[in-house]
Amino acid sequence: MSSIQLTGLGGCQEVGRSSFLLDFGEKVLFDNGVKLTPKETEYPLPVETNLDGIVISHAHLDHSGNLPHLFVESDFMCYMTPPTLDIAKILWYDTLKISGYEGIDLDWSETEIKKTEKFTFPVHYRKPVDITKNSTLEFFDAGHIIGSAMSKVSFQDKSFLYTGDFKKDETRLFKGADLDVGNVDYVMMESTYGDRNHSSRKDIEKLFVEEVQNTIDKGGWALVPAFAVGRSQEVIDILKEYRVNAPIYLDGMGQKAARVMLSYHKYLKNHKFLKKALEDVIWIRGNQMRKKALKQPSVIVTTAGMLQGGPVHHYLKTVHSDPNSSILLTGYQVETTPGRKLMETKRIDIDGSEYTVKAKVEKFDFSAHASQQEMLDSLKKWSPSKVFLVHGDKDVMPVFKGRIEEDLGISTHILKQGEKTKL
């Protein structure tokens, strides 16, 4: 049997630009994302070899955002679920639009997006496919966002599972990860929340809705920055179930994502309720409607979830200075993002000037990532011979490594950027 090697090209001791190369005599690339920071976009290390296949775990830009770049000079077969391709296309075209506005010179264009689509083979959950001469790929529901997949590659009587971003426990929109993946020898696992557990989701929902209603009752605006894919729709779902008494607006790319999500009934836990909830809220169309939304107390769910652009900046100009209003963060805030800065300092940059925010700022842990205990339970079930940790902050990963080795006795390695390690 030839040696098996894993190389970290991105997403190592950081959250963002995930990309990992598995070489078992044939070469399979897992993900190829970007990392958006206020100063620049960071990319994975270049792929300096011919590839036998590319596997994309899900559509979020930190996992798929650099994929069109790989098709500038080469052609590879690429594998992802059908919803992942449809959502990723929305995000890629949006990247092109934003780069045009900001004068950023991307080395790929619509041509590469079409080429990526042409060379993508859509794979459904639990449908094994041969992706190289000697290996098989099988996707399992990761429970993270629509179409997200844990990827199991089997080769040489061995199997390698890449979790991507996953969520073991059930959430409002998804059933939770499908852990029945069979035997696995190696697991490459995200470690975003490797040092902590999440509070009960029902408790978080209640606290969130109370804060929204309190804000409305004070005559303020409840501004809810949310990720376009999954979180925007989940928040709408919650607001409708708890019957928040106020006009509710949906703005930004979450609208396009919602249309795609509703077209994939089988990938959602309760398609009917989500469809009704989305139909009952007001979809913002342009700046006139944005002004209207700010003429009375209201709830505004909008992108971007980490405040890195999007319509949220239109609302922040008004909301930030109102002590009766609130800015309710609903997702993980990556280091160096405007959302993290707001959370830690209560300061925000608007149109090139920095302001102290007078509105209430709170974060609610509606995480679509597994908690420490969820990840430990998953590893206990799979019982691999070795674990490779990726997609986590530098100070979090050693904590999680320690827990895996102490509690489960499984050899664990923290993958480093540019490192080639033998399995």
Q: What is d(CA 179, CA 69) in angstroms, rounded to the nearest whole number?
A: 32
Mean pLDDT of 36-58: 93
Q: Distance between terminal CA atoms of the chain?
A: 12
Relative to beta strand 149-155, strand 248-251 is: unpaired
Three-state DSSP class for residue 255: helix
pLDDT tens column, 228-281:
999 999 999 999 999 999 999 999 999 999 999 999 999 999 999 999 999 999
Q: Which of 104-113, 228-237, 402-411 has the lowest mean pLDDT?
A: 104-113
Q: What is d(CA 373, CA 379) in angstroms, rounded to the nearest whole number?
A: 10
Closest CA to 254 of 302, 291, 315, 316: 302
CA within 13 Å, CB half, 234: 30
Mean pLDDT of 186-211: 96
Mean of per-residue pLDDT scores for the chain? 96
pLDDT of residue 37: 82
Q: Note every long-range contact of 113-117, with CB atoms under 8 Å and residues 24 or more positions apart, other chains counting.
A: 113/68, 113/89, 115/68, 115/71, 115/75, 116/67, 116/68, 116/71, 116/78, 116/92, 117/85, 117/89
pLDDT of residue 101: 77
pLDDT of residue 1: 52
b (16+ CB within 10 A) / e for 64-103: bbbbbbbbeeeebebbbbbbbbbbbbbbbebbbeeeeeee
With contact defined as beta carbons under 8 Å apart, do 379 and 404 qualify?
A: yes
Mean pLDDT of 89-94: 96
Task: Quote the tokens at residue 372.
Answer: 């420490």
pLDDT tens column, 325-352:
999 999 989 888 999 999 999 999 988 8
pLDDT of residue 384: 98
Architecture (CATH level 2) of domain 201-363? 3-Layer(aba) Sandwich (3.40)
Three-state DSSP class for residue 22: strand
User: Is the confidence at residue 102, as pLDDT, over 80?
Assistant: no
Task: Quote the tokens at residue 79.
Answer: 């594998």
pLDDT of residue 38: 78
Q: pLDDT-based confidence at 399, cuts 50/70/90?
A: very high
CATH placement of domain 5-196+368-422 = 3.60.15.10
Q: What is d(CA 332, CA 367) in angstroms, rounded to the nearest whole number?
A: 7
Three-state DSSP class for residue 102: helix
Mean pLDDT of 189-212: 96
pLDDT tens column, 210-224:
999 999 999 999 999
pTM of the model: 0.95
Per-domain boundaries in the chain: 5-196+368-422, 201-363
